A and B are shown apart, each in its own frame.
Chain A
């Protein structure tokens, strides 16, 4: 199985707890014979590198340096993420089984790659705009929510770490319950569950 993980943070760039989680998960998946590629953002160290665990990491910078907000920053970065993912796709002989996109940042890229190249994606939710910036009703928040909505709509499966989050997604975005997959919080126990989700998608 060959996959690409999208995450806006990955060590050494650490913003929250997602970076360490994705790194641990990617290593565990790699030791489980999954060919893991990570596409992430970094302005200082860019390009492709292979970690001792076998995980291939591609770090892309933002092609536009001046921004007026996180939205414009994210929306121009997505084309570089697409470029990196498309390069992996063509180098792998067009054989990528799925993309796992963490949070909303790289949903635009995942959606385009799904529609253009037929690569299915999982939307792994760490947090929602509604919880980050309650009541999240400015045009700015609504735009981010519309990207989250697009992710839920276009994703093959949604992956969350608690039943509470599953219920929140159902409440806010009216996502069908059977589309949401709940896994354990720690990578050691969640890796098998996530792998079974990937296998399910691969066979579908």
Chain B
């Protein structure tokens, strides 16, 4: 396909540098856009052992010096890193004779670079807001938090369009920064269903390492922090065991781990609740494939990618009815939605799935179909490309063109 459109992606993380969800997002989005005939350049922070320039499936990846001197604090480091990123991207853009149609920034972490480049080259800037400071912190309490919030506001002000991954995030971002409706566009996050659907032959042996054949597997994947609501699942464990023989597998780490372990010990259920910590990608994938139910009991969730991953791995999902999860799950169709922050409701949902084999099977099939239809990277790339084309249409009649 002819490359008739070129985009410069700015992201502070890109594989192998993985800190949060932005890294895989930019990776799959860039690769899928390249398949849609978009010439994609990614400028990102360097990583030990990763080359400063490489081509991955036609995506040009440039890793720039992320500022190695000691910085006074994280936020100041971000701005210093942006200085380098902006300088390198400016040089790269000049080298390719300004053959760039737009800049696409991901979160405030690359705000300065994106805004500066927009004005220097007079090309449109788009931003994907993956999260917000005011949402992460549940308010603005310090000068650092205020500064980051104002940087986010500045970035969304300068952006031609602001992309969010869920309707919930659209309304949240609109409220946080006072943005007009027509500036906001919803494009869901994606999941690479192929890698989750891959058949694994030794699944039975694998399952036996975690649970007895008569035990159902209840899986939680996520950081062990308050907003992920893992403590609500722990509180629901006895209510579930009253009705079903199950094994609870908790994957992930976080500051609540000790506290949760103590609760489990207090209930004398150490043999039923396993804390596995961080797991490698392959092991996690197999666990998701054998899980009889995947639980997402979050209290705050901009999107809820873990629910999508479970659906792609054909594991039925029980999730709290909040944030992006409310949109991903259709109750009784592609999963079960329960009241947030309510162990009784959560236990009810999990038991409903575990006790009814037909129901479980139906949800599993519907959810997988939904993933393929709505959250496929190819479709997301097509939507993103259409947004790019719309912006360029508006740009072409502006005095910058």
Task: Report which A residues bind B (CB closer than 8 A).
Answer: 63-69, 71-72, 75-76, 78-79, 82-83, 86-87, 90, 108-109, 111-113, 115-118, 138-140, 142-143, 146-147, 150
Given A64-B154, A67-B143, A108-B83: A116 and B76 interface contact (C-beta under 8 Å): no
B27 within 8 A of A: no
Q: Is the CB of A116 within 8 A of B83?
A: no
Q: Is the CB of A69 within 8 A of B72?
A: yes
Q: Please, which residue of chain A has its CB at the minimum distance from the CB of B151? A: A64
**15 A-B residue pairs with CB within 8 Å:** A63-B154, A66-B146, A67-B147, A68-B144, A71-B76, A82-B120, A83-B115, A83-B116, A86-B120, A112-B87, A115-B90, A116-B90, A116-B93, A116-B94, A150-B83
The CA of A116 and the CA of B100, in the complex, are separated in Å by 13
B32 within 8 A of A: no
Q: Is the CB of B115 within 8 A of A79?
A: yes
Q: Is the CB of A146 within 8 A of B151?
A: no
Partner of B73 from A68, A82, A113, A117 at Cβ < 8 Å: A68
Q: Is the CB of B86 within 8 A of A108?
A: yes
Partner of B87 from A63, A83, A115, A142 at Cβ < 8 Å: A115
Q: Across the interface, which residues of A come within 8 angstroms of B146, CB to CB?
A: 66
Q: Is the CB of B122 within 8 A of A90?
A: yes
Query: Which chain B residues (128-153) contact chain A, with CB distance < 8 Å?
Result: 143-144, 146-147, 150-151
- Label chain B's interface by main secondary structure: helix
The CA of A65 and the CA of B67, in the complex, are separated in Å by 25
Partner of A72 from B75, B90, B93, B119 at Cβ < 8 Å: B75
Q: Is the CB of B94 within 8 A of A115?
A: yes
- Is the interface on chain B under 10, 10 to 19, 20 to 34, or 35 or more residues? 20 to 34
Given A64-B151, A68-B144: A113 and B69 interface contact (C-beta under 8 Å): no
Q: Please, which residue of chain A has its CB at the minimum distance from the CB of B118? A: A83
- Label chain A's interface by main secondary structure: helix
Q: Please, which residue of chain B has its CB at the minimum distance from the CB of A89? A: B120
B6 within 8 A of A: no
Given A67-B143, A68-B143: A112 and B116 interface contact (C-beta under 8 Å): yes
Q: Is the CB of B69 within 8 A of A142?
A: yes
Given A112-B120, A116-B120, A116-B121: A71 and B72 interface contact (C-beta under 8 Å): yes
Q: Across the interface, which residues of A come within 8 angstroms of B112, CB to CB?
A: 75-76, 78-79
B261 within 8 A of A: no
The CA of A127 and the CA of B380, in the complex, are separated in Å by 52
The CA of A88 and the CA of B237, in the complex, are separated in Å by 66
The CA of A113 and the CA of B115, in the complex, are separated in Å by 13
Q: Across the interface, which residues of A come within 8 angstroms of B71, CB to CB?
A: 139, 143
The CA of A188 and the CA of B380, in the complex, are separated in Å by 63
Q: Is the CB of B94 within 8 A of A78?
A: no
